Structure formats: structure tokens, C-alpha cells
Amino acid sequence: MIDVRGLRKSFGKNLVLDGVDLQVEQGDVVAVIGPSGSGKSTLLRCLNLLEEPDGGTITINDVTVNPPRYTAKEAHALRQQTAMVFQSYNLFRNKTALQNVTEALVVGKKMPRKEADETGRRLLTRVGLSEDTIQQYPITLSGGQQQRVSIARALAVRPKAILLDEPTSALDPELVNEVLAVIRTLAQEHTTMVIVTHEMAFAAEVADRVVFMDGGSVVEAGPPSQVLAAPRHERTRRFLRELG
Ligand code: ADP
Ligand code: MG
């Protein structure tokens, strides 16, 4: 489903992705872990060209781009394949929960309003929001509710894969589990996901593969039983030890 080869990205003199390879099978959940600054967010942002890679190849579903040379049409086609969930939710503040989910359907996909509303309600119910919560503005919702709206919004465009960048890191501890529960359900339904997370127990539970990054490179990748339970590399061991 996702095949990334030799992805490179620098910010000025700062080499942030140093030839990253990433493969994700359809229906799999891949957890990306690693220290702060190791390039995890940049990797996700390169997958939908929120950042412009300097080199490498990105294939998602049946779309391939070869940075730094790609057309606007190719970029558009690649972006259509994924949807992103951010740490900070990034909801439209002036739209209700329902409008946040239906916006891309009505404006982007030209779906009739009534059909978009039905889809939005169904998705927001699926992530556990009540009927009255659906009509509220983000500011009146808890962080956990906002992030669940953000996940519903990502699902609405029926992406081939969902990219989640530390989806629970901004949440108060008591709200983390309600968001993890939604992601767990998506994983059980074989939604293809790449999730950057510091929740190691969760990664061990839901991930089919774990990718450990350090200094812009993939140090180690494999099933959680290897990378988390029996890491081969000292850097992975040190990282896990320091997490406690
Ligand atoms: P992580 O998500 O693993 O914490 P990031 O991908 O956010 O790491 O950042 C990797 C490196 O790239 C860091 O050194 C960070 O300062 C740098 N970086 C990220 N985004 C930008 C940007 N837009 N401009 C300049 N430097 C950036
Ligand atoms: Mg990050």
C-alpha cells in the first residue's frame, strides 16, 4: 500500500531524513517510534507532500512521485491517498463537529449536503460522539472529543491510509484511552495506518510492525515482538530504557 524508498529531506544544513525506507502492507498498522527530532513528523508530512522531499520515491496505492520532480497533478493524486490526524487536532474553529467532517465532502468531493450530513453523522457516531455533541463547536469539546472528530474527518474522505502524528500527545491523561480505543477499533477493522506514537504499550498491542527512527534514519523495523520486546540495536534499547 505504501512504499517509500530512499526518502531524503533537509531543512537548510539540517539533514532530517537520510534515505528513509518504509513499507506498509494494506490493512496493516505501522507504529513509528523514536526520540524527539528524529524525523518522524517530517516523514509523515513528506508522505502527503506537506513537506517537499529532496529525493527518493513515494508510492501510495497506485500513485508514485519521484521528488523533487513531480507535477501538481501527481501531488494532488498522492495527497488523495491519505488523510492526516495531527497532535493538535487542527479542526476548523468556526465549524461544528459535523461541519468539520462534511467540509471536505461538500467542497472537495461535491457530495450533496444531505448525503454528506448522513456520512458525517455516521462517522461521528462511530467515533463515539453523541447527537448533541455533533452540533457543537470545537472550543466546547474536550481534547479527546476534538481528536475523535479529527479522526472522523480523516475517515470521511475514504483514504487508502491514515497518517496519525502523536494523536494522543496533547491530551490530558484521562482522555488518552478514549482516543486509543477508536484507533484500536480502526486497527481491528484493518484500516491501514501509520501512527507516530510514544504509547509503547499501545504500539505493542495494535501495531503489525514497529519502525524505530533515530537521526533521520530507520535504525530497526520489524514486529513489536522484535523491536519492542527484543531490540537488536543498542540505540533502540537505550530509547526504550529511557522511556521507562
Ligand atoms: P520528530 O517528529 O521525530 O520529533 P521532526 O520531524 O519534527 O522530528 O523534526 C526533525 C528535525 O527537523 C528537527 O531537528 C526539527 O527541528 C527539524 N524541522 C522540522 N520541521 C522543520 C521546519 N519546518 N523547518 C526547519 N526545521 C524543521
Ligand atoms: Mg513529531
> Which helix (DSSP H) or strand (DSSP E) does residue 13 occupy?
none
Ligand positioned closest to the Cα atom of 32: 1
Ligand 1 pocket (Cβ < 6 Å) reads 11, 14, 16, 34, 36-42
Ligand positioned closest to the Cα atom of 86: 2
Backbone angles phi, psi at 185, to 5 degrees: -65, -45
159 in Cβ contact with 83 (< 8 Å): yes
pLDDT of residue 54: 98
Distance 16 CA to ligand 1 centre (A): 7
Closest CA to 204 of 186, 166, 230: 230
pLDDT of residue 214: 98
pLDDT of residue 119: 97
Query: Quick count: other Cβ atoms within 10 Å of Cβ 150?
Result: 27
pLDDT of residue 190: 96
216 in Cβ contact with 18 (< 8 Å): yes
pLDDT of residue 120: 98
Euclidean distance between CA atoms 51 and 229, whole angstroms: 33
Euclidean distance between CA atoms 207 and 169, whole angstroms: 18
Per-residue pLDDT of the chain in tens (244 residues, 90 and over written 9): 999 999 999 999 999 999 999 999 999 999 999 999 999 999 999 999 999 999 999 999 999 999 999 999 999 999 999 999 999 999 999 999 999 999 999 998 899 999 999 999 999 999 999 999 999 999 999 999 999 999 999 999 999 999 999 999 999 999 999 999 999 999 999 999 999 999 999 999 999 999 999 999 999 999 999 999 999 999 999 999 998 7
pLDDT of residue 82: 98
Percentages helix, strand, coil for the chain (3-state, rounded to 5) are: 40, 25, 35
Q: Whose Cα sits closest to atom 19 in ligand 1?
A: 42
Closest CA to 38 of 3, 5, 14: 14
Q: Whose Cα sits closest to atom 23 in ligand 1?
A: 11
CA distance between the termini of the chain: 33
Angle of helix 113-126 versus helix 143-156 axis, rounded to 10:
130
> Among all chains, which residue has been given the C-alpha cell 481534547?
143
User: Cis (ω within 30 of 0) for the bond into 224?
Assistant: no
Distance 43 CA to ligand 2 centre (A): 9
pLDDT of residue 243: 86
